[in-house]
Chain A
């Protein structure tokens, strides 16, 4: 009793709760250090690359000519000219690829989620898509080269590039669309059936709109990925320093191809163009990602 009076902080019984043990504090410290370490390992190269690209390329793309002119008629060591021809090539090859891949990819995903179930065809399709996801771009490019150019005897062209990109883009779209369709609750499908709405209309009018924002994000990310692919353009399209609007014939530039080409140009002009093309590609892909975010926000189901 006297001790209690002397020390009011001291309790008659031992406290139920005690401070965090040393052992746990050490474990917590180690885990925190590992997590931060992993974060730094990931972020340092990223910042470094971005800094290098921006520092070396930014002055180049500030020139208005960069966005409006091609390299037509310029000597390798001459400054000036622009990347218009390469930007056009990258965009058009990417878009043609998307126009072919998006319907195929979405329809495969619809089959897998809504109709396939656990059938053998569905399992086989999933397996093929998995394999296709792992195919390196150079293999896709060589496959198209073998079929399109060696077997059918058709020339190298932007369309051939797009076809190789389709092989890379379809599995990505199937995967993302499949995941998005799977998270649409079955209750919505049942609610629709119970109103006497046929299955196909339920898919088109209820399921797809509910999943649309996620599907579009997936498409944009897939597009961003294929626009940076180098192997297909190297194998399937020759570089053209001038503007070629023809999809079906002749050499056509693209940003990765322009960078490869200017790598062989040892002058200061070549150096500038490599970094200019690099930052242009980064900017284009960033724009696509931003666009994806904006569209998916606009289309996402709302509650307010």
Chain B
């Protein structure tokens, strides 16, 4: 469980467009790393490259290394499907599978990987829903469709679905941007809980959120339109928000631009 990620000289492209330039960054295990920065600076792109989701887009290309406990996930012998099973992801908008019940949504990853034992699946469903702080709200309607839940519940359902396959790392792409403040608080509490077992990387536009939930913060910026995004600095969250070493970071977090 909970492995470390090391990003080394990562360059990301969409076709001919150079989206992100020379990112190097270490994500320690059982730790929350937040990516902040203005829109279009490539933080989501970097996040998606960490479990090989970047290459799903047509023409997308990756250069550099991403090491999971020292093992490069971009080596030609590595199966991207295995990478994604090990490094889970939660998306910006809650996206439960509309044809499946709440229980089936949670165990989808395991069931589609071939696990058939119903008792085992029920156990996993309960454990994951408890882990996502959703069990008490849905335990009486596990057979109802996942689409009937509220937005915040759907997002926690998606987190339950992601942790059901027991990944080593959990990536979250602006998981609260479509939610109201109360659901956001529920997810933030959950992130703090999950940190005990998982390595978490979260992209967020909300700097208070980054300050509240993360241990380490990475600030991304882009020099101009059409230029590749860059990692400006990465440090302890406390340091970034009190005394950043770069001027651009200070300007951004104090709201002077972006």
Residues of A within 8 A of B (CB): 117-118, 185, 187-198, 201, 205-206, 209-210, 212, 301-304
Choose from B82, B89, B98, B144 the contact partner of A194 (Cβ within 8 Å).
B89
Q: Which residues of B contact A194 (CB under 8 A)?
A: 51, 53, 84, 88-89, 91, 162
Task: Give chain B residues whose Cβ lies under 8 Å from the Cβ of A301.
Answer: 98-99, 145, 147
Q: In the complex, A193 Cα to B112 Cα: how many Å?
A: 11
Query: B175-190 CB contact bits vs A (8 Å, 1 = yes)?
Result: 0000000000000000
B85 interface residue (CB < 8 Å to A): yes
A-B contact pairs, 20 of them (CB 8 A): A187-B91, A188-B97, A190-B53, A190-B56, A191-B97, A191-B161, A193-B53, A193-B81, A193-B84, A194-B53, A196-B84, A196-B86, A196-B113, A197-B108, A205-B112, A209-B99, A210-B97, A301-B98, A302-B148, A304-B144
Q: Is B5 an interface residue (CB 8 A)?
A: no
Residues of A within 8 A of B53 (CB): 190, 193-194
Q: How far is the CA of A188 from the CA of B93 in the complex (A)?
A: 11
Question: Which are the 7 A-B pairs with shortest beta-carbon distances?
Answer: A196-B85, A301-B98, A195-B109, A194-B89, A303-B147, A187-B95, A209-B99
A197 touches B81 (CB 8 A): yes
In the assembled complex, the CB of B47 is this many whole angstroms from the nearest CB of chain A, namely 11
Give the nearest-CB partner of B85 in chain A: A196
When the two chains form their complex, are residues B158 and A191 in contact, meaning their CB atoms are under 8 A apart?
yes
Which of chain B's residues has its CB closest to A197's CB?
B112
Chain A proximity mask over B29-69: 1 for CB below 8 Å, otherwise 0: 00000000000000000000001010010100000000000
Question: Complex Cα distance A304/B101, Å?
Answer: 10
Is B23 an interface position by the 8 A CB rule?
no
CB contacts (< 8 Å) of B113 on chain A: these are 196-197
Name A187's contact: one of B82, B83, B93 (CB within 8 Å): B93
- A205→B113 CA distance, assembly (Å): 11
B200 at the interface (CB under 8 A from A): no
Q: In the bound complex, do residue B108 and residue A304 qualify as a contact, i.e. CB atoms below 8 Å apart? A: no
B165 within 8 A of A: yes
Once bound together, how far apart are the Cα atoms of A210 and B95, in whole Å? 13
Q: Are B145 and A195 in contact (CB under 8 A)?
A: no
- B→A interface (CB under 8 Å): 51, 53, 56, 58, 81-86, 88-89, 91, 93, 95, 97-99, 108-109, 112-113, 144-145, 147-148, 158, 161-162, 165
A190, A195, A212: most-surrounded residue (chain B CB, <10 A):
A195
CB distance from A217 to the nearest CB of B (A): 16
Q: Are B91 and A191 in contact (CB-based, < 8 A)?
A: yes
Pair B88/A195 contact, Cβ less than 8 Å:
yes
Nearest CB in chain B: distance from A211 CB, A: 9
Taken together as a complex, chains A and B put the C-alpha atoms of A201 and B165 apart, in Å, by 16
Residues of A near B112 (CB, < 8 A) are 192, 195, 197, 201, 205
Which residue, A194, A196, A198, has most C-beta atoms of chain B within 10 A?
A194
Write out the residue numbers on chain B whose beta carbons fall within 8 Å of the beta carbon of A209.
Answer: 99
Contact A198 B81 (CB under 8 A): yes
- Residues of chain B within 8 A (CB-CB) of A205 are 112
Contact A195 B84 (CB under 8 A): yes
The complex places the Cα of A260 from the Cα of B226 at a distance, in Å, of 68
Which chain A residue lies CB-closest to B109?
A195
In the complex, the answer to whether A304 meets B109 with C-beta atoms within 8 Å is no
User: Do A196 and B98 form a contact, CB below 8 Å, given A190-B56, A303-B148?
Assistant: no
Which of A196, A210, A304 is in CB contact (< 8 Å) with B99? A210
Question: In whole angstroms, what is the CA distance A198 to B114 when docked?
Answer: 12
Q: In whole Å, how far is A203's beta carbon from the nearest beta carbon of chain B? A: 11
In the complex formed, the residue of B with least CB distance to A204 is B112
With contacts A195-B88, A195-B162, A195-B165 taken as known, whether A304 is within 8 angstroms of B98 at the C-beta atoms is no
